[in-house]
Chain A
Amino acid sequence: DIQMTQSPSTLSASVGDRVTITCRASQSISNWLAWYQQKPGQAPNLLIYRASSLQTGVPSRFSGSASGTEFSLTISSLQPDDFAMYHCQQYYSYSATFGQGTKLEIK
């Protein structure tokens, strides 16, 4: 299976901050990567697909980028609603795999 290494595991930030979460794949996955936001007790919500395409309805402060096997999710200006868990997912192989998750918490 393709391993996805997500960092950091926890990120403390303040409203208005610009933050970046990173995911590194163990092999090339082209741009077959998605990012999800998950709040406690809820299902994940798709934010970004194909590494940089914004899902319909997702605020434009969220963006994704890729460089080789390293992928990033950036939130340009944190809003109170953004404090949550974030997961990356590769879907290059038929057996999709996820990163361990990043908890974005209020500083």
Chain B
Amino acid sequence: QVQLVQSGAELKKPGASVEVSCKASGFSFTGYYMHWVRQAPGQGLEWMGRINPNNGDTKYAQKFQGRVTMTRDTSITTAYMELSKLTSDDTAVYYCARGDIEYSTSSYDYWGQGALVTVSS
């Protein structure tokens, strides 16, 4: 069965970076776009960007340009999202979500369990 298993909760200081991983199984990792979406406490969902695991091509939301980097390791079917220069506004649950097999923009049919990133001094 399709599974996306994310890394655990993180506590970071302002100005630091955080990397969240997303281990995929049960489907062809290189066949589907992987998206990252975050949700601040009590807030709505916010798309951060996506990666094509087949060739590593990325597209980021303008808001995160220059601060976010999405990568993948096809040998271990894992996607990564690194966010730098953290502030308290980055405190949120970060999700990976599987996109479409064909279109770079799509709905998301499977989601990871989420990784809470807390930014606090």
Contact = CB atoms under 8 A, between A and B. Distances in A.
Interface of A: 1, 32, 34, 36, 43-46, 49-50, 55, 87, 89, 91-101
B45 A43 contact: no
Nearest to A35: B107
A39 B104 CA distance: 27
Interface of B: 35, 44-47, 59, 61-62, 95, 97, 104-109, 111-114
State the main secondary structure of chain B at its contact with A.
Answer: loop
Nearest to A46: B109
B47 A95 contact: yes
B107 A89 contact: yes
B44 A99 contact: yes
A43 B44 contact: no
B105 A93 contact: yes
A43 B112 contact: yes
Nearest to A53: B107
Given A44-B111, A89-B45, A98-B45, 5 more contacts: A43-B97, A43-B111, A43-B112, A45-B111, A46-B107
